[in-house]
């Protein structure tokens, strides 16, 4: 069986380190990809440190679901991709492709969906799927996306998760032109939310805990910034937002943000802290407000998002790191110290 270099965690408390992992020989339907860049999502950190009680981690864990790379082999029945193509892989690598959710292009909700890492590996190559902190990956062509040729690759990688996770709920809300949109948390997801909200013609406000991010929020396309610890400023915006996207990775008071919604306004959660968030019934019923959730996006919508980014020249703002800096990058992620996504240059794995 072929193998690949990777970086993996061997327990919730050990740092990521070099590990050789098995990869399957491509089947008829598979595409083999040499990974060029992989974004660092906060979900990688949650999973590596076993922070999600609903999705316990199997070790070794090779995270990474913001993958961009070059096709090195295709199976005999592969139609969409050919040798040398630049392609992307996001959070999904398999689904049954026969259930109502798959037929509705919502593979992320398929009961048999396999995520890019930490899902049972139906091919039996390993106990679980291994993600993109690796030199290569083999994926069913349905889950391999085409990357527009005009975009810079380190900044494309984060589109595969941070991009689609913010694009999808905004599209689902409807026409945001002229609407007042808030984005809570200016991290990897949040900064993509700002770029999309701006591109969709909304009046975009960043709600941040970090006063130092004010200028760069405006440079990313925000029209206004509220520092959430400023009670006066929060008060001024009561009842004014049509839509708020909550990207916060840690415990926080969601009621403070529900107060900012207009009547019939919607707050959609995409951030995934493990601890339940208490919600004030009064905060919702006075104003007929909606609290919703959203999980990445299906394959068709992910391709639509990538094509939209190609047309509008949108990529993620990245700090490129070698894989050897991944543990330091996790520590910085916890301090909200990244502008605005780490993107790992996989060339650095060659020296391992």
- List residues near Zn ion by CB under 5 A: 41, 43, 161
Report in angstroms how near the CB of residue 106 gets to Zn ion at its nearest: 17
Q: E strand or H helix at 48, and its extent?
A: helix 42-48
Instruction: Determine, following the binding rule CB under 6 A, whether residue 195 of this chain makes contact with ligand NAP.
Output: no
182 binds, among Zn ion, ligand NAP, none (CB under 5 to 8 A by kind): none
Both structure tokens of 275: 């601890």
3-state secondary structure (DSSP) of residue 297: coil
Interface residues for ligand NAP in 29-68 (CB under 6 A)? 41-43, 46
Q: How far apart are CA 88 and CA 31, in angstroms?
A: 11
Q: How far apart are CA 263 and CA 284, in angstroms?
A: 9
Residue 190 DSSP code? H
Q: How far apart are CA 24 and CA 127, in angstroms?
A: 13
| Cα angle: 325, vertex 326, 327; to 5 degrees | 95
Q: Tell me which stretch binds ligand NAP (CB under 6 A): 79-87, 99-107, 143-151, 185-193.
A: 185-193
Interface residues for ligand NAP in 299-338 (CB under 6 A)? 333, 336
3-state secondary structure (DSSP) of residue 321: strand
Report in angstroms how near the CB of residue 59 gets to ligand NAP at its nearest: 19
Instruction: Determine, following the binding rule CB under 6 A, whether residue 296 of this chain makes contact with ligand NAP.
Output: yes
Please, are residues 186 and 338 in contact by the beta-carbon 8 Å criterion?
A: no
- Per-residue binder mask for ligand NAP (CB under 6 A), 202-231, x = binder: ------xxx--x------------------
- Per-residue binder mask for ligand NAP (CB under 6 A), 240-269, x = binder: -------xxxx-x-----------------
Q: How far apart are CA 220 and CA 14, in angstroms?
A: 35
**Which residues of this chain interact with ligand NAP, rule CB under 6 A?**
41-43, 46, 161-162, 165, 185-190, 208-210, 213, 247-250, 252, 270-273, 294-296, 333, 336
């Amino acid at each position: 069986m072929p193998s690949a270099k990777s970086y993996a965690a061997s327990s919730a408390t050990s740092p990521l380190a070099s590990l050789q992992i098995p990869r399957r020989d491509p089947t008829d339907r598979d595409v083999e990809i040499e990974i060029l860049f992989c974004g660092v999502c906060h979900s990688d950190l949650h999973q590596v440190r076993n922070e999600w009680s609903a999705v316990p981690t199997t070790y070794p864990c090779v995270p990474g679901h913001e993958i961009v790379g070059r096709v090195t082999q295709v199976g005999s029945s592969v139609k969409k991709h050919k040798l040398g193509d630049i392609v992307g892989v996001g959070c999904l690598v398999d689904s049954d492709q026969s259930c109502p959710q798959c037929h509705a292009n919502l593979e992320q909700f398929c009961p048999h969906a396999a995520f890019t890492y930490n899902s049972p590996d139906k091919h039996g190559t390993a106990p679980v799927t291994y993600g993109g902190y690796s030199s290569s990956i083999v994926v069913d062509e349905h889950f391999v996306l085409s990357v527009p040729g005009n975009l810079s690759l380190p900044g494309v990688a984060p589109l595969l998760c941070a991009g689609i996770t913010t694009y999808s709920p905004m599209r689902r809300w409807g026409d945001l032109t002229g609407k007042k949109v808030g984005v809570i948390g200016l991290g990897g997801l949040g900064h993509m939310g700002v770029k999309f909200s701006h591109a969709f013609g909304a009046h975009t406000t960043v709600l941040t805990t970090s006063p130092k991010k004010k200028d760069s929020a405006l440079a990313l396309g925000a029209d206004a910034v509220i520092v959430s610890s400023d009670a006066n400023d929060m008060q001024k915006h009561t009842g004014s937002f049509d839509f708020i996207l909550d990207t916060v990775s840690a415990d926080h008071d969601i009621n403070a943000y529900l107060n900012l919604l207009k009547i019939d306004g919607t707050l959609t959660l995409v951030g995934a802290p493990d601890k339940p968030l208490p919600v004030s019934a009064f905060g919702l019923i006075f104003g007929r407000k909606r609290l919703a959730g959203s999980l990445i996006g299906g394959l068709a919508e992910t391709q639509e998002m990538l094509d939209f980014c190609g047309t509008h020249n949108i990529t993620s703002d990245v700090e490129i790191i070698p894989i050897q800096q991944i543990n330091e990058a996790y520590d910085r992620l916890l301090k909200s110290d990244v502008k605005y996504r780490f993107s790992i240059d996989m060339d650095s794995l060659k020296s391992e």
